[in-house]
Amino acid sequence: MKLWGGRFTKPTNQLVEEYTASISFDQQMWRQDIVGSLAHVAMLGKCGILPMDEVKQIIAGLKKVKEKIERGQVTFQVAHEDVHMNIEKLLIEEIGPIGGKLHTGRSRNDQVALDMHLYLREKMLELIQLAAYLQNALLDQAANNLDTVMPGYTHLQRAQPVLFGYHLMAYVSMLQRDMERLQDAWKRVNVLPLGAGALAGTTFPIDREFVAELLQFDGVYLNSMDAVSDRDFIVEFLSAASLLMAHLSRLCEELVMWSSQEFSFIELDDAFCTGSSIMPQKKNPDVAELVRGKTGRVYGNLIGILTVLKGLPLAYNKDMQEDKEGMFDTVATLHGALALLTPMIETMQVNKQRMRQAVAEDFSNATDLADYLVTKNLPFRQAHEVVGRAVLYCIEQKKYLLDLSLEEFQRFSPLIDADVYQALDADTVVNARKAMGGTAREQVEKQITAYRGFLEQTKSWINQTSQKVSIESLVDVGSPV
């Protein structure tokens, strides 16, 4: 008999049970469901809705159910549809009909919303922590490569020399924005929906603020219909996650290119590469390629939930069961990507000599020759033309700018003097860019210092928040009663 079966005259068709059940995936929220129930029943006792002796029985029963699940003694049943009904059924089996009083003053609609808020706020903290680890690894590599000159690219064509540390700091900056987005979205996750009932609130004199306090929520939904129908917090998470995955994918694309024989800028540690079943010499950057590939599934999860929500009338609809699998999948996908990329970046070997050689074999110092002529009082647009003709000459002669004799330079402009060789040296070119945000070593050092400060602030926020809201820290919410 279904817990809701009183109105029905026939058992549910087995195909319907299998098709509509969510226990296969939402069972991973069993801890959140128990913690939410502990807080709910503690409130029912405080408000005098249930007698304290029954409240204590329910709390003890829920903790026994928790212990059984942890010991692997529980098999969740499709017949009970979802994690909420499975746990309630287990509770009733444990303590008898009194367990059925747990659901007083709530609905599965606000219960499932609570579970997802509890689940996502903890998982987002974990993901921010993992992003911080990756950011730290990139900062360390940047600090170790303050004298490593490499070609900078636009349109995937060599553009201007930059420090490798400077290039990595661009990804540090992206991760900073990603973590800030997740922290900001976390505020909307940390709002309590429980007490909204099915959609219109409840006739019982509940205390929602007390539950919010027990579960460390910063506030409660003011409108019950919004509380049960809102999935903005999941959309916002998936949006931030999609952008984070885009940044990881861009980094991975460069790792794949840089580790190729054509570039040979880096070598990834053997522990993070794989081989070929037929070609013995191969060392493939499979981890980076998979992160790049899995970006699409995260994007798909975002589009999926947006499509589910786009035409739904208020309040709860069964369509909204589709909100969970994409959320779970994105959490797992991001977790795996961040956890793997950190040690891969930490152990990455940088071929400094090859990078410098690459800079010596291109025209990425051409802009600096134009700037040099500007310092000699030639208008930049004219200087641009002069350098363009010099580059064309070099291409025809199979030379680079620094290969030209002073006499050859002066064919293009008499303003060029012997000091041009120093001006076009790769280290000079890099360190000449001293304006804020530039690639000069002193500017990169300032960027590293600034972002290490941001990282410490993020770590402090994570530590303080995690201690407060982790599920393990909330399992005794019912103890005071």
Beta carbons within 10 angstroms of residue 100's beta carbon: 15
Beta carbons within 10 angstroms of residue 117's beta carbon: 26
3-state secondary structure 394-421: HHHHCCCHHHCCHHHHHHHCCCCCCCHH
At 312, list the tokens.
Answer: 């739904």
Spatial distance between the Cα atoms of 340 and 317, rounded to a whole number of angstroms: 38
User: For residue 475, what pLDDT is reported?
Assistant: 80
Average pLDDT over all residues of the chain? 95
Spatial distance between the Cα atoms of 442 and 76, rounded to a whole number of angstroms: 60
User: For residue 22, what pLDDT is reported?
Assistant: 82
Helices 232-258, 164-189: inter-axial angle, 10-degree rounding: 170
For the cut 80, the answer to whether the pLDDT of residue 19 exceeds it is no
For residues 235-248, average pLDDT: 98
Task: Identify the CATH assignment for 109-153+162-200+218-357 out of 3.60.15.10, 3.40.718.10, 3.40.50.2000, 1.20.200.10.
Answer: 1.20.200.10
For residues 216-224, average pLDDT: 97
DSSP 72: T
Task: Give start-end residues of each CATH 1.10.275.10 domain in the chain.
Answer: 5-104
Task: Give start-end residues of each CATH 1.20.200.10 domain in the chain.
Answer: 109-153+162-200+218-357
Q: Is 155 among the catalytic positions?
A: yes
User: For residue 143, what pLDDT is reported?
Assistant: 98
Decide: 175 and 135 in contact? Cβ < 8 Å: yes
Distance from the first to the final alpha carbon of the chain = 32
| Higher pLDDT among residues 479 and 324, named by residue | 324
- Which amino acid is it at 430? V
For the cut 70, the answer to whether the pLDDT of residue 317 exceeds it is yes
Spatial distance between the Cα atoms of 430 and 438, rounded to a whole number of angstroms: 9
For the cut 60, the answer to whether the pLDDT of residue 209 exceeds it is yes
For residues 12-16, average pLDDT: 76
For the cut 90, the answer to whether the pLDDT of residue 9 exceeds it is no
For the cut 60, the answer to whether the pLDDT of residue 83 exceeds it is yes
Spatial distance between the Cα atoms of 118 and 472, rounded to a whole number of angstroms: 12
What does the pLDDT look like over 371-408, one tens digit per residue? 999 999 999 999 999 999 999 999 999 999 999 999 99
Closest CA to 141 of 342, 326, 332: 342
User: For residue 479, what pLDDT is reported?
Assistant: 64
What global pTM score does this model have?
0.94
Preceding peptide of 360 cis, ω within 30° = no
What residues are paired with 266 via a beta bridge? 350
Where would I find the H helices in 76-222? 83-95, 108-143, 164-189, 208-214
What does the pLDDT look like over 124-182, one tens digit per residue? 999 999 999 999 999 999 999 999 999 999 999 999 999 999 999 999 999 999 999 99
Spatial distance between the Cα atoms of 268 and 348, rounded to a whole number of angstroms: 5
For the cut 60, the answer to whether the pLDDT of residue 480 exceeds it is no
SS3 168: helix
For residues 423-435, average pLDDT: 97
Closest CA to 320 of 310, 329, 331, 330: 310
For the cut 80, the answer to whether the pLDDT of residue 43 exceeds it is yes
At 175, list the tokens.
Answer: 């991760």
User: For residue 20, what pLDDT is reported?
Assistant: 65
For residues 5-19, average pLDDT: 74
Catalytic residue among 24, 276, 473, 479: 276
478: confidence class by pLDDT, cuts 50, 70, 90:
low
For the cut 80, the answer to whether the pLDDT of residue 54 exceeds it is yes
What residues are paired with 192 via a beta bridge? 220
Q: Residue 443: CA atoms inside 13 Å, Cβ hemisphere, count?
A: 17
3: confidence class by pLDDT, cuts 50, 70, 90:
low
Q: 3-state DSSP helix/strand/coil percent for the chain, to nearest 5?
A: 65, 5, 30
Decide: 469 and 36 in contact? Cβ < 8 Å: no
Measured over the CA atoms of residue 308, residue 313, residue 319 and residue 320, the dihedral's sign is: positive
Closest CA to 250 of 364, 412, 99, 138: 138
What does the pLDDT look like over 94-138, one tens digit per residue? 999 999 999 999 999 999 999 999 999 999 999 999 999 999 999
At 231, list the tokens.
Answer: 């999935």
For the cut 90, the answer to whether the pLDDT of residue 474 exceeds it is no
For 414, phi then psi, to 5°, come to: -70, -10
Per the document, the length of the chain is 481
258: confidence class by pLDDT, cuts 50, 70, 90:
very high
For residues 321-346, average pLDDT: 96
Spatial distance between the Cα atoms of 113 and 29, rounded to a whole number of angstroms: 11
Decide: 273 and 322 in contact? Cβ < 8 Å: no
User: For residue 477, what pLDDT is reported?
Assistant: 77
User: For residue 219, what pLDDT is reported?
Assistant: 97
User: For residue 275, what pLDDT is reported?
Assistant: 92
Q: What is the CATH number of domain 5-104?
A: 1.10.275.10
Catalytic residue among 22, 24, 84, 155: 155
At 61, list the tokens.
Answer: 């029963």
Residue 347 CA from chain centroid, whole number: 22
For residues 346-359, average pLDDT: 97
Decide: 368 and 401 in contact? Cβ < 8 Å: no
Report the helix count and the strand count for the chain, using DSSP H and E.
Answer: 20, 6
User: For residue 129, what pLDDT is reported?
Assistant: 98
DSSP 156: T
Q: Is 224 among the catalytic positions?
A: no
For the cut 90, the answer to whether the pLDDT of residue 23 exceeds it is no
Q: What is the CATH number of domain 366-423?
A: 1.10.40.30
Radius of gyration of the chain (CA): 30
